Amino acid sequence: MKDKHLIALDLDGTLLKDDKSISKKTKDVLNKVQEEGHVVMISTGRPYRASEMYYKELNLQSPIVNFNGAFVHHPLDHNWGVYHQPLPLNTVSDIIDISNKYSIQNIIAEVMDHIYLHYHDAKLIDIFKLGNPNITSGDLRKFLKHDPTSLLIHSDEQNVKQINDYLSETRAEVIEHRSWGAPFPVIEIVKHGINKAVGVKKVADYYGIPKSRVIAFGDEDNDLEMLDYAGYGVAMGNGIDLAKNVAKDVTLTNEEDGVAVYLEDLLLKKS
């Protein structure tokens, strides 16, 4: 094949429909582009345990980006390497002290497949139990002994904005932080300099694919760097305005098979 492309897919709100399924049309198109020699990969904020089922469903053969770039590995090739960039443990205590100034509901630390909740919360445990991680509840300053892959602050919408603003003003050189929307307001924190684009570039370099032939799909603010990096940075029709502004193109929504329609037009009709 003359021009191999790397196709990087965000999961929630992008590849996945609102019911967290992959449509038959999208699956068929992704199978076809793989048959034609293009590389399809997942690039998500989720941990691997919560994205493995989609990796297998699509029969992917590529590395995967998890935790927004803080963890990159190849599930089928242990010789490929594991790239793990956790937060320094002392940053966690710092973040807890900051959070105590606001009305936080919880702080969640993830060390790969071990989850630590600052406060016990059955509802949160139910949300995070996908993939059967080990879950510990209690003061993070006491129970957390290893550098976490990511840190989540769960608060109400008003305080999320205040905390985000404070972190931007005081911790910009130490951490990266992004907000989640539904089903609950969350700030996700990873090590400074880490984002999805870092992980996708690592995979693109491995395959020798220039960024001009990287096609990335996303919908939220944790996709911005990836959309900006890719030669074809494509925002979903249901994406936030900021993602659409950064992207080079906009496709249909996740409910309208936006990923499949775009790839069909760009890669399959040409072939």
Burial environment of residue 241 by CB neighbours within 10 A (0 to 12, 13 to 18, 19 or more): exposed
Nearest Cα to Cα of residue 232 among 246, 222, 252: 246
Helices H / strands E in the chain, number of each: 10, 14
Given 10, 12, 223, 257, which residue is catalytic?
10
- d(CA 54, CA 240) in angstroms, rounded, equals 24
Q: In what order do the strands lie in the sheet with 104-111?
A: 134-137, 114-117, 104-111, 150-155, 186-191, 175-180
DSSP-based three-state secondary structure for 175: strand
- Active-site residue flag, 10: yes
Three-class SS string for 26-82? Answer: HHHHHHHHHHCCCEEEEECCCCHHHCHHHHHHCCCCCCEEEHHHCEEECCCCCCCCE
- d(CA 88, CA 94) in angstroms, rounded, equals 10
The DSSP code sequence of 221-242 is GGGHHHHHHSTEEEE-TTS-HH
- d(CA 115, CA 223) in angstroms, rounded, equals 24
> Which of the residues are catalytic?
10
